[in-house]
Structure 1
Amino acid sequence: MSELDRLRDAMRATERPDAVIDLARVMRDGRRLRTRRRVTGAAAATLAAGLVAVTAVTVDPSGSRDPAPAGPASPAAVASPSVGVAPTSDGPTPPPTQARGVPNPKPLGQVIDTGIRHGVDLRVYYIVGVTIPGVPKVTIGLAAGRRAPDGTVRTDILVNDVEGADRSLGFHQIGYDESASTPAVPTFGYFVGPAARITGTVDGRQVDATLARWSLDKQVVIFWFDPSTLTPGRRLDGIVAHDGAGRRL
């Protein structure tokens, strides 16, 4: 008979009229039961603490086991998406959509003359090399710059992909000059494919872009919008490319 059974049996004696209650026994058995419950509760608490300690252990590659540091968990780092980087350099990659006032990278292939003048300077576009860690298929970017009368080219804005491949068919990054600087850079970008016409839509009206092909890869079609028909920095509602037969690409 367990201690609990004996205690119950002793207490049931009060229900029998001829029974004699052994009060000392009841008190003694009650103390024993309470003591056992306290011990059992302490053991359970110890086991729970042991389980927590096991789950908090980390294993490093060397095989050693170290408890995780106490305190609240650090928040997970979440990288916000970026859509533009600076030209090839040894420094970290900046995150803005497009880089303005970047150093003057060396053009790859011919520099494209737009015929748009800013004082004595001439607006030009050109392809440059870029490097993005972990994205081996993005190696080029498109720069908007100005050429001085002495032939010096200064870069104003550089745009490029930050994922995928820079020669995949279709439109790639589009450069918008949203700064308050002067002179403003006309909206520009590049398309890969047999585009013969590119039109943009803004406020329900269509505007045509001027096209030029990259000298090192004729599938890369560089385009820009005349600032007299599309205010620099004004976002397009849509943009479409058509082939020589007028079919939408």
Structure 2
Amino acid sequence: MIRNTKTFAIGLVMLLSFALCYVGMMSPNFGNGRNGLNYADDMFNSFSKGSSNFIKESTKIAESQKGININLTIKASSAAEAVKWGKLYSVAGAAVTTKDSSLTVNGDLGKILGSVVSDSEFMYNNDGKSVEAKYGYDAREATNNWNNSFKKIDSALKAKSQFKEEAALSKIVQKALEPGYNYYGVEIKKVSENKASLAFLLCFYLLYTVWYGFGLYYFFDGLGITVSKPKKKVEV
């Protein structure tokens, strides 16, 4: 039963307009079949990509490992995957032996990490073709193969108590490989050059949240549903 017609009407109008705005936001009218949420996600990803370039730092880490040899045997999930992993390490200058799904890598850790940093830079700059030219197959798959094989290398280094080498490898994954893979295909945008767009998105998000909250408040107030503190009992 409606107890306050005015606040009920205000709340109803606010909720209906909120719903219409939501439908418009979720429609694929923001370019390339994207809806409003996709557009906002892409925008913020572009902003964050600009502050996630650690290639120079990663290059220094890789160079610090030059001259350190690793000789490890790791296991892929299949013989076909082992061959693809082997291609990565061979191009990096390591001696590679494959047997079924097992892969033995004997080479300079610094050169291997340097090759990963180089591939990560290509991916970060959306240049997947250069990675494909090196290995002869899809760039994202090649980058993912680096990551998967590094998990095995990481465990093998720990087993041999080569903790300094393992730490260097982990840093390369975090600062070069993951950003390169995750931001592949994302356009870099600087906040300083897109202040108006960023301000609009933040203000709209704030307004949209408040809009929905007050819509609910007025709607339920019109129905007589309110929240109040319980009255304190008077002790006799």
Q: Classify the TM-score, shorter chain.
A: under 0.3
Higher strand fraction (1 or 2): 1
Q: TM-score, normalised by structure 2?
A: 0.24
- More helix, by proportion: 2
TM-score where L is the length of structure 1: 0.23
More RCO (CA 8 Å, sep 6+) = 2
